[in-house]
Structure 1
């Protein structure tokens, strides 16, 4: 792996996104492949709830999409992390790509045939979630094998920024697709585009070198916690390590609070229809959070130089909750989009700090399993948030579900940080002395 050092920028360049990791060819290919594939995935991320709401007319059914995705994440996210620590990570990624393709083509077929089954839609989402749950921790765990440790925050920021850029333009394009062709033709177009664009991510994965578990520096002896196979004992080892590492554990808990209580995504189809007359409004709402995160990423050069990372993480999570609550009170589309974008920028900061902390703090032999937990948290949390939002909206209305979640999440984040100040005290220099492989 090429050892690169990021230059120290001056002036406005101190705030520009750090592109240094793109000098590493293997990382550059993965960044490009994942970014293009993510654009297609975002088309499906909008198409599925739009189809579900068209079939049922209920935000509760839209919220159930979150449960259909979360349950596989809970099981296979942890197991996928163990797989990433026990097997060649390149092979794991290729195997999960095949499963994801099958599920996406299933979405295409059911849309073309007009099956109109909410249960089939939930089942296909669940299969996609299985593949994602295994591939995501594996894909994240390889990052310190592709770039040197000092570039991990910059590479994480690039990944998040690309993801959020796709999350901006994907929903906007999806909104245009539905505005031009309606749901009957728009749904199969969106699903088919997703399947086609995913081929670029597969190409990037094929070009990766083999990535078996790193050998123990003590020749002939397994390192403590190194899994021989991806079994229950391996998963328990990873959870035990997390439970005895308060900084990492609190970073996961505070993110769960933010996503479960404040994520308003399941309310977008209802709010777009009731406040703004439907049409392309749903695309704007689905892209707003990601737009803010993308802009935050493009001005993120300062994040890699932070030392009080724990304090900034807490502030970012509180800012997310308050911005979401304010957005729920907005009566104009432009204002709601703007406030959701502010929330997205705060979420970008918290996500980069949390993942950078995890990748640098944890030893390589644990990274896959901890990234499995990370996948359950970052992907499962919003899906539980979908269920919470849909259930509260069914009983009290979409506005109450939206605003109350943001306020409660901000309050709980402050209480957690005060009750357990180890996260507030965490500094970037205070890293584990454990080996990173």
Structure 2
């Protein structure tokens, strides 16, 4: 029986999330600051589309928030990645975080003053997106400077799981605020909570050590600006596995992300109130549960095939969720989609870590920022526009999921290199 008792904790360690990176003080402070900031960020993520729908009563305008966020992400995400490779990453992160903080305070100000301008809301979302795009590549690229190389994958998974946990509890808390206080009072409360919690990340960033750029392989410093961005794209174009992994994620997010439809669906099918918080939390619930049991992902060799299956699972679950008229069923199906998305995200990041040298890490993270954060925002535009054009959120929701699945199959059949991809190394845990 002793062997059985020892085997159970060993099996649990194989599945449980790895917390060893938290033993490093600098990472622990940054992780805590990020956790607080990510939780607060979810209040704004819910509040902005709720405010826009309250002002316009039109999902098209909610979808326009995706345009306002994506254009800055496309430009400044790539530029921010090049800057993170060419400048002190601590200073880049601090500057972007300061601008992000100011944009949340501006959202709070317009809510308190009752400005009620859709145009101003779009402009503030654009500024918020600029700040996120500049700071995000630096925030991810500093991990190998804070941790031993063998702890970087564990830290990445820990960050993913923490983000998904914040994405669960943040929208739920926001939904409770709106249910208890109403939209008029709930909006400034949500923005104020985000601004207050974001101070944790600012303090953690101030305590980081200086992180000047490392020299490139040829002994020269990495180039910033347009030249650095071009270098990054040349490297990406020559690395087909990375390129295809980004493309199929864009397909999944642009065609099958129903987020812009949540306010309308919550009101029409479920009577509004706290239901909007459940819808915004549902995908993250599945991703959080997937992250807490993610140890098995690192042992997979057929990572390319698993990535394709995860994207198809996301698309199918989203399509079926759009047919549900019971809140519990829609939340459950969205959670299944979230678990599939977690697997996709971890596999994509793992593949990137295997291929990317340090001198390219910031730029590739810049591209990853555009894909991960920009894809859903284009999805917001697609969903809102389709709902307005076809006169219904249900058609936009279900049709998007089906289209994403079909296009993914077409792509991987045309370029089967992704299906054949196997991991270079496979982690083994005793």
TM bucket by the smaller chain?
over 0.9
For residue 150 of structure 1, report the CA deviation from its aligned partner. Answer: 2.9
TM-score by length of 1: 0.93
Unaligned runs of 5+ in 1: 1-7, 432-437
When the two structures are aligned, how many residues end up with a matched partner?
418
For residue 428 of structure 1, report the CA deviation from its aligned partner. Answer: 2.0
For residue 121 of structure 1, report the CA deviation from its aligned partner. Answer: 0.4
Structure 1 residues 293, 147: closer, same or farther in 2, change over 3 A?
Answer: same
Give the 3-state SS of the residue equivalent to 1:10 in structure 2: helix
Alignment pair present for 1:308 and 2:308 = no
Alpha-carbon distance in structure 2 between the residues aligned to 1:111 and 1:79: 31
For residue 217 of structure 1, report the CA deviation from its aligned partner. Answer: 6.3
For residue 430 of structure 1, report the CA deviation from its aligned partner. Answer: 6.5
Alpha-carbon distance in structure 1 between the residues aligned to 2:285 and 2:356: 31
Partner of 1:42: 42
- Give 4+ residue runs of structure 1 displaced > 6 Å after superposition: none
Q: Is contact 2:215-2:359 (8 Å) kept? A: no
Q: Which moved more, 1:348-357 or 1:117-126?
A: 348-357
Q: Which moved more, 1:290-299 or 1:403-412?
A: 403-412
- Superposition map of 1:207-356 within 5 A: 207-216=207-216, 221-222=219-220, 226-228=221-223, 230-356=224-350
Give the 3-state SS of the residue equivalent to 2:320 in structure 1: helix
* CA deviation profile, 1:354-388 (whole Å, cap 9, x unmatched): 11211231011011111111101110000000000
Partner of 1:385: 379
For residue 417 of structure 1, report the CA deviation from its aligned partner. Answer: 1.7
Unaligned runs of 5+ in 2: 1-7
In structure 2, which of residues 362, 365, 386 is the aligned counterpart of residue 368 of structure 1? Answer: 362
* CA deviation profile, 1:129-153 (whole Å, cap 9, x unmatched): 0000011111111122222333332
For residue 9 of structure 1, report the CA deviation from its aligned partner. Answer: 7.0
Q: Is contact 2:85-2:360 (8 Å) kept? A: yes
For residue 22 of structure 1, report the CA deviation from its aligned partner. Answer: 1.7
Alignment pair present for 1:408 and 2:403 = yes
Partner of 2:133: 133
For residue 419 of structure 1, report the CA deviation from its aligned partner. Answer: 1.6
Q: Is contact 1:154-1:304 (8 Å) kept? A: no
- Superposition map of 1:84-103 within 5 A: 84-103=84-103
Q: Give 1 or 2: higher helix fraction.
A: 2
Alpha-carbon distance in structure 2 between the residues aligned to 1:356 and 1:394: 38
Partner of 2:78: 78
* CA deviation profile, 1:49-98 (whole Å, cap 9, x unmatched): 00000000000000000000000001101000000000000000111111
For residue 14 of structure 1, report the CA deviation from its aligned partner. Answer: 1.7
Partner of 1:394: 388
Alpha-carbon distance in structure 2 between the residues aligned to 1:150 and 1:357: 15
Alpha-carbon distance in structure 2 between the residues aligned to 1:359 and 1:205: 23
* CA deviation profile, 1:89-124 (whole Å, cap 9, x unmatched): 000011111111111111011000100000000000
Give the 3-state SS of the residue equivalent to 2:199 in structure 1: helix
Give the 3-state SS of the residue equivalent to 1:302 in structure 2: helix
Q: Is contact 2:98-2:202 (8 Å) kept? A: no
When the two chains are superposed, the root-mean-square deviation of aligned CA atoms in Å is 1.5
Alpha-carbon distance in structure 2 between the residues aligned to 1:336 and 1:205: 39
